[in-house]
Amino acid sequence: MKKFLSKEIHLHERLTINQLLALHTYQKNYHGDIYLLLNHKTITLENLANLVSLSLTITPKSKIQLIVEGENAQEALDELTECIYREVYIFAN
């Protein structure tokens, strides 16, 4: 069953290129849609160029909203959060 969940994430520093690539790859393998919301701008993780551009506007102590729409949305949110906070790279099945 498809669900729509979101989570606010507090960043302590900018996202690394490895984190951005992991988020992008996760989206490519996920059966659903994943978005980031920052400063009233929403982007999908599918577009790597937009993801990198958005990351350049992230400052330390920024708050981003991670939005997941699809099956196993809670699991995806947990894995993406872990990727962001711990630099653990998990790819969707």
Handedness of CA 60, 46, 86, 81 (dihedral sign): positive
> pTM for the complete prediction?
0.83
> Cα–Cα distance between 76 and 68 in angstroms, integer?
7
> Cα–Cα distance between 43 and 45 in angstroms, integer?
7
Q: What is the pLDDT of residue 29?
A: 92
CATH architecture assigned to 2-86? 2-Layer Sandwich (3.30)
pLDDT by 10-residue block (mean), the chain, 93 residues: 89 86 92 92 92 86 92 93 72 49
Q: Where are the alpha helices (DSSP H) in the chain?
A: 17-29, 48-56, 73-86
Q: What is the pLDDT of residue 60?
A: 78
Residue 87: how many CB atoms within 10 A of its CB? 12
Task: Please count the CA atoms within 13 angstroms of the CA of 28 that sit on its side-chain side.
Answer: 10
Q: What is the pLDDT of residue 87?
A: 62
